[in-house]
Amino acid sequence: MDQFVAVQAKCGHALMIDCRTLLYDAIPFNDPNLAVLVINSGVKHELAGGQYTLRREACEAAARTLNVRSLRAIHEGRIDYGNNNYIVLGHI
């Protein structure tokens, strides 16, 4: 994404990127009451195991249950939190 932003960035704007379609939009970001902090926590993460893998599997199972390609296609009104397969949707 670094190269994408380097080419598409616009001064005074944040860049909203849809990583599936690569569509993007420059969103004005010039409110003096807002700030962006970039912080290195120093924590090392391994995406191949642990909670990331479990969360991804839960999201994929929920998407299959709802017969959608991705949970991003689900609107809030369609979520039934009484079904255990949808518990993950509360996080997303």
- Which of the residues are catalytic? 2
Residue ranges of the alpha helices (H) in the chain?
Answer: 2-8, 51-65
**How far apart are alpha carbons 8 and 25 in whole angstroms?**
9
Answer yes or no: are the C-beta atoms of 26 and 33 closer than 8 Å: no
β-sheet bridge partners, residue 15? 26
